Structure 1
Amino acid sequence: MKGRSRSTGLLLVISGASFWGVGGTVAQKLFQEFGISVDWLVTARLLTAGVLLLAVQFLLKDRSQVIGVWKNKRAAIMLLIFGLAGMLAVQYTYMASIHHGNAAVATLLQYLAPAMIIIYLVLRKQSVFSRQDFVTVSLALAGCFFLLTNGSVSQLSVPAPAIVWGVLSGVALAFYTLYAIPLLKEYDSLVVVGWAMVIGGSALSFIHPPWQMDFGSLSAEAYLYLVFVIIFGTMLAFWFYIESLQTLSPTETSLLSSLEPLAAVFTTVIWLNEPFGIYQWAGTACIFGMILLLALNKKKPAKSNDSVENEEPLRVS
């Protein structure tokens, strides 16, 4: 982890996390200024990025896994469930939250997932509720309160649909993270995520086919934003993040991936001029505190077979 390779790993994870965060803000601009629908963008994003990730696996890594995952009946069924209830659910709820609110709040609400996982594992008696867990969950709840109310219990500072979709995004990400563990033990991340994206995008195509779009009405600016969201904000972001694990530890990549909500918040506030009050900044700080605490102080659950720790991190927004 020394020398040029480590520097490359740092550059990759910082770039990937930044692409994820900025991608959400660019998606918000597509929704608000160019009339792109959530259904179409999620479909196009999943199908295109999924195919590209599988192409990377086929050309640069173990190509036998691309088809091999479907030869294992149990893995194939899990992959179908993961693609629909995990990948599609995460992507759609996240984009819907952006559409009804903004990218900053949507990304921060999605980051409630670690606290949800802690509570789930404790209820399932797969982990003991520790002092660190108490602080983590407390930071998540305080951050959520300040972020959504701006310090006033009498009114919400964020539209209710954005909150509902954002919380559902956190729930979906929690499921996505836990359910993927057995698949990641047998297959490369690019295979699991690539196929999950193709599955989710294919399913949503029945509701909103990607070819049903008035492409002639879109400006060159809109096309540039679409390319960024699909290629940089999805495909390259995930690929760079996974490649960074070759030279960095999972703890380092998890810590640096916190740049995602930071990028989302700052680009939303500065580029799109979204108002952010002092209490919302306080809420943002609480959620960042939770992320840093989790990244720096990992603990092992009671049952190691179900552990979500010490696995290859799986992130996608």
Structure 2
Amino acid sequence: MENKTQAQKRLIGGILAVTGAILWGIQGPVSQFLFQDNNLSPEWLMGIKMGISGIVILLFTNFVKKEPVMDLWKKPKNLGVFAAYAVFGLAAVQYLYLVTVNLSNAGTATVLQSLGTVLIVIFTAIFYHQLPNKYEATAVLVALIGTWLLVTKGHLTQLAISTPALTAGLLLALAGAIQTMLPVNLLKRFSTLVVVGWAMLVGGVIFTIVHPFWVDVPKLTLGTILGVGFIVFFGTMMSFICFINSLKFISPTVAGMLDTFEPLSATIGAVIFLNTSFNGAEVIGGILVLSTVFILALGNKNE
């Protein structure tokens, strides 16, 4: 019975992580469309999407879920970790992802973010003295090979993206690892919605100060409104709620591995929305990255 319960928990965690990854991945091509055709800046979009998401999540938590939303601020010993998660994890991922999309494209941004999986395994080994098993190590190696094919488009000695885009992408991977690992203990003490809601609102306030949303407002066409609405409610709010909830059922390493669905959904979204084409090396790279999910699943089954 206990094994069955554990399996059910892993399944729930896996579904939540994959759903969050897909919603986040689709956000990429939608953001790329807004940057290219509507002259939006990442900073303007950050203030809007994080601020609205944070407010909606906290209102939902307080009035629908009937959960206290101020408990987090009443326990100062948790505020340091929370601040680090909000700024260097969640807000950094949100911003660096948009910057990388703006400097390259949605597919490249999500693939570079998936390198956070490698960093999670490394950090787990360093801080928790927990070396990756053979399945995790194999999955990381395969993910790296697939990522390299995607980033180089098959020209293995030459990157197919600019240096600023690669730098932003690597910082994005680091922020992704921080975002995955830091809130684990917070989630044992506070509601998921409370942690995510306040972190979103903090990020929204920071970026509203950096670039007030009432300054240099882009032309609000129907496409702009729908695009921003999708990014706020699905690509931001729902994706992070799903992802952070998954950490209650699966480890950060597993959650990071399942993030490989992001490049797949971003690539499909780019093909559908932006008519983006990909060569054979990029397709093989995408398949390799996606295959890490099945390698990990095989390892869990055997364990």
TM-score interval, smaller chain:
0.7 to 0.9
2:118 is equivalent to residue 115 of structure 1: yes
Instruction: Compare 112-121 and 269-278 and name the one that shifted more.
Output: 269-278
2:183 is equivalent to residue 180 of structure 1: yes
What is the deviation of 1:19? 2.8
- Is the 8 Å Cα contact of residues 50 and 204 (structure 2) preserved in structure 1? yes
Provide the residue aligned with 2:287 in structure 1. 285
- Is the 8 Å Cα contact of residues 257 and 292 (structure 2) preserved in structure 1? no
Provide the residue aligned with 1:41 in structure 2. 45
Deviation track 1:252-281 (CA, whole Å, cap 9, x = no partner) reads: 998876544322111112321223111111
Q: Distance in 2 between matches of 1:245 and 1:181?
A: 7
Pairwise CA RMSD of aligned residues?
3.2
What is the deviation of 1:123? 3.3
What is the deviation of 1:78? 1.9
Alignment of 1:31-110 (within 5 A): 31-64=35-68, 66-110=69-113
Deviation track 1:218-250 (CA, whole Å, cap 9, x = no partner) reads: 2122111111111222223344667899999x9
- Is the 8 Å Cα contact of residues 53 and 232 (structure 2) preserved in structure 1? yes
Provide the residue aligned with 2:212 in structure 1. 209
Per residue, is there more helix in 1 or in 2?
2
Provide the residue aligned with 2:28 in structure 1. 24
Q: Distance in 2 between matches of 1:168 and 1:266?
A: 24
Percentage of pairs with the same residue: 33
- Is the 8 Å Cα contact of residues 113 and 169 (structure 2) preserved in structure 1? yes
User: 1:171 pairs with 142, 151, 174, which one?
Assistant: 174
Distance 1:19 1:117, change over 3 A: closer
Provide the residue aligned with 2:8 in structure 1. none
Q: Which amino acid aligns with 1:63?
A: E
Q: Secondary structure at the match of 1:297?
A: helix
Instruction: Compare 287-296 and 268-277 and name the one that shifted more.
Output: 287-296
Distance 1:239 1:121, change over 3 A: closer
Q: Distance in 2 between matches of 1:251 and 1:141?
A: 15
Q: Distance in 1 between matches of 2:15 and 2:119?
A: 30
- Is the 8 Å Cα contact of residues 106 and 166 (structure 1) preserved in structure 2? yes
Distance 1:155 1:275, change over 3 A: farther
2:199 is equivalent to residue 196 of structure 1: yes
Distance 1:12 1:152, change over 3 A: closer
What is the deviation of 1:77? 2.5
Alignment of 1:268-279 (within 5 A): 268-279=270-281
User: 1:143 pairs with 135, 138, 146, which one?
Assistant: 146
- Is the 8 Å Cα contact of residues 260 and 292 (structure 2) preserved in structure 1? no
What is the deviation of 1:155? 2.5
What is the deviation of 1:17? 4.4
Deviation track 1:266-298 (CA, whole Å, cap 9, x = no partner) reads: 111232122311111111112112233335535
- Is the 8 Å Cα contact of residues 258 and 288 (structure 1) preserved in structure 2? yes
Distance 1:107 1:205, change over 3 A: same
User: 1:158 pairs with 151, 157, 161, which one?
Assistant: 161
Q: TM-score, normalised by structure 2?
A: 0.84
What is the deviation of 1:38? 0.7
Instruction: Compare 23-32 and 126-135 and name the one that shifted more.
Output: 126-135
- Is the 8 Å Cα contact of residues 251 and 296 (structure 1) preserved in structure 2? no
Q: Distance in 1 between matches of 2:248 and 2:234?
A: 20
What is the deviation of 1:125? 5.7
Q: Distance in 1 between matches of 2:119 and 2:255?
A: 21
Provide the residue aligned with 1:305 in structure 2. none
Q: TM-score, normalised by structure 1?
A: 0.80
Alignment of 1:210-249 (within 5 A): 210-215=213-218, 217-239=219-241
Provide the residue aligned with 1:308 in structure 2. none
Q: Which amino acid aligns with 1:73?
A: P
- Is the 8 Å Cα contact of residues 117 and 253 (structure 2) preserved in structure 1? no
Q: Unaligned stretches of 5+ in structure 2?
A: 6-11
Distance 1:286 1:256, change over 3 A: closer
